[in-house]
Chains A and B, each alone.
Chain A
């Protein structure tokens, strides 16, 4: 039995043998996860139902105001979009925006203490696939690492095995952001010590690697330090999204989905070892 579990451990960690059967295995345990999540969900529903009429009215008013502002911004956005399209046509460069989105709720259950993962209540039956980008209203959260039929796991950008290609919004310097394993710190290795980076610069997804759509905010640079004579600077960043506090996440569908064989190639080039 012990030899068997050693074999299992090696088979899953080194050879990734269970990639296809994990969907079924994950679906097997999802009832337990739903049961464990149920009390919290119930208390949320109750507290939502127990709001007074005054509070609801206030909230409604607030939301209507916000909606008005957002709509006003959107008016401008369509114009800008058209202008952008025209300019892109002039330059002969196409750029695709992802269309399909889906809201997923976080099931706040305990996960493996050494990795940074979230469990969400959408799975393969909703069309979720491994490697799918996940964002919230503030910025990039992570990507799907495991799928079950009704649940899936999101590997957060702060996990030590996660990497995401970015560019600096101010001047388009390309870099790769690696997770550090701490909740609010990201590392950016291999940045030239004379690179034009400043603390407070916003990093957005570059779209290289084809997994994350371009243009979503990822992190702000919190610390830039280089030693005289060193080849690379030490750069750290903090994620834009509040990773441990978000209740709803947004799943994005890339317009051009990769076929299976492309996906495995993509994994290596992007330096993401999501198991």
Chain B
């Protein structure tokens, strides 16, 4: 399939991910919102490292910063670091079983959350709510289904 339509599919998943990241949820569910963008970046860099680069992750992070109203560059920095790590090791990660990648996703989300907390607390005094880390578990729970769904999408639209 042509390059253009591949990118069309990839970019539409990006936009859906951004919508999912800010979509209004009831307060008690809000803490359980999976980190869609971490999952999406992880999947695409793993599957097509020659298509989705660090630049994409950077721009996605920047957009998320603007959407959330956080300091510019916090998510951009973390997402480009994530894309960097994955693109360095994608050959190894591809041979992982689904359980191993799930654990890996949990680790990535944990590191992202810790780094976000650290960056934010370096700027101003903040209060850490105890629900803050719940989304790690929902992200891990959702990852296997997400992975198979994305693989279906990729094969269905022949994204290469």
Q: Footprint of B on A, CB under 8 Å?
A: 1-2, 4-13, 18, 25-26, 28-29, 32-33, 35-37, 40, 108-115, 117, 119, 145-146, 153, 160-161, 180-182, 244, 273, 275
Measured between beta carbons, the chain A residues less than 8 angstroms from B18 are 32
Q: Is the CB of B68 within 8 A of A112?
A: yes
The CA of A146 and the CA of B69, in the complex, are separated in Å by 8
**Listed stretches B1-9, B19-27, B37-45, B149-157; interface member:** B19-27
Give chain B nearest CB distance to A28 CB in angstroms. Answer: 7
Known interface pairs A110-B23, A110-B24; A160-B125 also in contact (CB < 8 Å): yes
- Nearest chain-B residue to A25 (Cβ)? B66
Q: Is the CB of A181 within 8 A of B66?
A: no
The CA of A115 and the CA of B125, in the complex, are separated in Å by 10
The CA of A275 and the CA of B71, in the complex, are separated in Å by 8
**Binding site of B, secondary structure by majority: helix, strand, loop or mixed?**
helix
Q: Please list 11 pairs of residues, one from A and one from B, whose beta carbons are closer than 8 Å in the complex, sorted by A's number.
A: A1-B54, A9-B77, A12-B73, A13-B123, A26-B66, A36-B19, A40-B24, A110-B23, A110-B24, A113-B132, A114-B121
The CA of A131 and the CA of B74, in the complex, are separated in Å by 24
- Nearest chain-B residue to A10 (Cβ)? B73
What 1/0 flags go to B6-34 for Cβ under 8 Å of A? 00000000010011011111010010010
Measured between beta carbons, the chain A residues less than 8 angstroms from B27 are 244
Give chain B nearest CB distance to A22 CB in angstroms. Answer: 8
